[in-house]
Amino acid sequence: MRRLARGLAALALFGVPAAASEDLVSGLSQDTVEITSNYTGTDIVVFGAIEHLEDAGVNDVVVIVRGPDANMTVRKKDRVAIIWLNRDQAVLQGLPSYYYLASTRPLSAIAARDTLQRYGIGVGNLAPEKIISHHDPEPFRQALIRHKEQDGLYGETPAGVEFLSPTLFRVHVPVPATVPRGQYNAEVYLFRDGNVISAQSTPLFIDQTGLERRLYNFAHSSPMSYGVSTVLMAMFLGWLSSVLFRRNN
Amino acid sequence: MEIYLPIAEMSVHWLIILGMGAAVGFLSGLFGVGGGFLLTPLLIFYGVPSAVAVATTASHITASSISGAITQWRKRALDLKMGLVMSGGGLVGTVFGVWLFGVMRRSGQMDLVVSASYVVLLGTVGGIMLNESLGALRAVQGGAPPPGRRSGQHLWLHGLPIKMRFRESRLYISVIPPIVIGFFVGALSAIMGIGGGFVIVPAMIYLLRMPTNVVMGTSLFQIIIVTAATTILQATSNFAVDIVLALFLIVGGVVGAQLGVRAGERLRGEQLRLLLALLVLAVAIRLLFGLVVEPGELFSVATVAP
């Protein structure tokens, strides 16, 4: 969110006409993802169209779905005597909890590195807003990205933008089972000759619903009753089993 | 079918969780232990965050201890006064343990402390049990009678001040040792997600010199009080209890426990203790490997609340 705002400010600063966003329209297959009891991850589709397509110049589309920012602690294990334990740590603030990018071509072919960095485009170009660490933070940042990629929470598909016609495109965005809840943003960037000429952002909400939501709220709003309920449930089931199995004998 | 755990925030396969509960329940019925020391590591190996694993296992132990306690209560094989005194210490220990748990979780040493306490405790208890059950087996083969309780013997612990009479246990001893034992087990329960039966039972027999017929009922009583308190405190201070996970574990667990009790009736006590000792040592060794072998990934990531 913040980064997009910064990006758009940069857009204005570099003298690109604001009306440029009329070149691009985009939307989502759904504006909410509901985490239900059998939720195992899903796919959402970001689609869009480029209008007033000019033949002059090279057009590229980059689609990013960004999760809410989070503060993350990265810890590094070290051997102390014979035991491996967490020693050094770095707190990285303001990195997205989820990040998926699809583009028409590899990012390095689309724009210069400093342009990509300015908009936070590309997993490798994500920079935390603040780092609290006594050590060189770079290995910690890379470890965080590696972890997120393994968990399917950060991803990049260089040829993930599928063109259905010269102007109409769509992107399948995988949303794994472990996504954090919150407000997401689907951002679509239109590049021409290495410059952002248009950008659009659409919000997307991911949240628990139904019973899961109620249980989560119950656990956080009245933890005492929640804990007592869990204990009563345990006691009831324990008692029930002793009654049921006694009759069977 | 996968189910989504609202507190752990992950999906798990319900059959796996039910099966884990049943397998641990079976062993707990077989050996007469709560089984927390197996369930917590199993859940962690499966990928459940260790905080949720520890906190949720407590409620599983409450459930699996209830039916045993009911049976003992009917037989009046329970020293209620001793149980209450130990639970008093246990509740203070639980509060301390849950506080320590929160501190460790914030400082990133949670996994280390959990693993290290498991290795130390299970290694010690498993080693003692192995040694003892091997000795008992040899004695049985040699035809010597197993050593019984020599009544009237007192340890220096019993002479501490604030003496109290425990009629069912036929003891007149200081309340300090039971309170300290209760405190220690309560803290372990909160940190390790165990009931602590395999610590309380030997402590009652060898330190307090309680008669064996009331040991089982009294320890189950104390375990229920302490694990119930642990569940509530973990829910209120660490938000780490997952009720959906608990439900599946308990349903599997109580059924497994009943089957385990039946299977246990066909095995001899010494053989059971030997098997349990080997199992406890195996878990300890597995966790020890995790601590001393260089991990494939040195970095770990934790999301901190904003």
- What are the tens digits of pLDDT across the range B42-84? 888 888 888 889 889 999 988 888 877 887 788 777 888 888 9
* Residue A208: alpha-carbon gap to chain centroid: 16
Minimal C-alpha gap between A86 and chain B (Å): 7
What is the distance between the terminal CA atoms of chain A, rounded to a whole angstrom? 64
**pLDDT tens, residue by residue, B76-105:** 778 888 889 999 999 999 999 989 888 887
Q: Is the same domain home to A170 and A223?
A: no
pLDDT beyond 50 at A14: no
Tokens describing residue A14: 């570099």
Residues 170-229 of A with CB under 8 A from B: 177-178, 180, 208, 212-213, 215-216, 219-220, 223-224, 226-229
**pLDDT tens, residue by residue, A195-225:** 888 888 899 998 877 787 888 888 888 999 9
Q: Is the same domain home to A125 and A232?
A: no
Rounded to the nearest integer, the mean pLDDT of chain A is 82
pLDDT beyond 90 at B183: yes
Q: Is the same domain home to A152 and A32?
A: yes
pLDDT beyond 90 at B33: no
Which has more pLDDT, B263 or B19? Answer: B19
Q: Is the same domain home to A246 and A123?
A: no
The b/e string for A167-199 (b: 16+ C-beta within 10 A; e otherwise) is eebbbebebebebebeebbbbbbbbbeeebbbb
State residue A130's pLDDT score. Answer: 82
**pLDDT tens, residue by residue, B130-172:** 888 888 778 767 655 555 544 455 666 666 777 787 777 777 8
Minimal C-alpha gap between B98 and chain A (Å): 14
Q: How far apart are CA A50 and CA A33, in angstroms?
A: 26
Q: Is the same domain home to A86 and A139?
A: yes
Q: Is the same domain home to A171 and A231?
A: no
**pLDDT tens, residue by residue, A185-198:** 999 998 888 888 88
Q: Is the same domain home to A201 and A214?
A: no
- Which residue range(s) make up the domain with A227? 209-249
Do the chains contact at A234 and B291, CB–CB below 8 Å? no
For B74, other C-beta atoms within 10 Å of its C-beta total 10
pLDDT beyond 60 at A21: no
Write out chain B residues lying below 8 Å of A132, CB-based: none
Q: Is the same domain home to A81 and A103?
A: yes
CATH code, A31: 2.60.40.3880
State residue A249's pLDDT score. Answer: 46
**pLDDT tens, residue by residue, B229-243:** 989 998 998 888 999
Q: Is the same domain home to A133 and A218?
A: no
Q: How confident is the model at residue A10 (pLDDT cuts 50, 70, 90)?
A: very low
pLDDT beyond 90 at B245: yes
Do the chains contact at B250 and A208, CB–CB below 8 Å? no
Q: How many domains are there within chain A?
A: 2
Do the chains contact at B70 and A220, CB–CB below 8 Å? no
In this complex, the residue of B66, B235, B239 whose CB is nearest that of residue A230 is B235
**pLDDT tens, residue by residue, A85-117:** 888 888 888 889 899 999 998 888 888 888 888
**Pairing mode of beta strands A99-103, A154-157:** parallel
pLDDT beyond 60 at A4: no
Q: How far apart are CA A172 and CA A154, in angstroms?
A: 14
Which has more pLDDT, B89 or A129? Answer: B89
Q: Is the same domain home to A90 and A198?
A: yes
Q: How confident is the model at residue B303 (pLDDT cuts 50, 70, 90)?
A: confident
For residue B44, the number of C-alpha atoms closer than 13 Å in the C-beta half-sphere is: 24
State residue B144's pLDDT score. Answer: 52
Q: Is the same domain home to A154 and A83?
A: yes
pLDDT beyond 90 at A236: yes
pLDDT beyond 70 at A19: no
**pLDDT tens, residue by residue, B253-296:** 888 888 887 887 777 777 777 888 888 899 889 888 888 887 77
For B61, other C-beta atoms within 10 Å of its C-beta total 36
Tokens describing residue A35: 């985490």
Q: How confident is the model at residue A134 (pLDDT cuts 50, 70, 90)?
A: confident
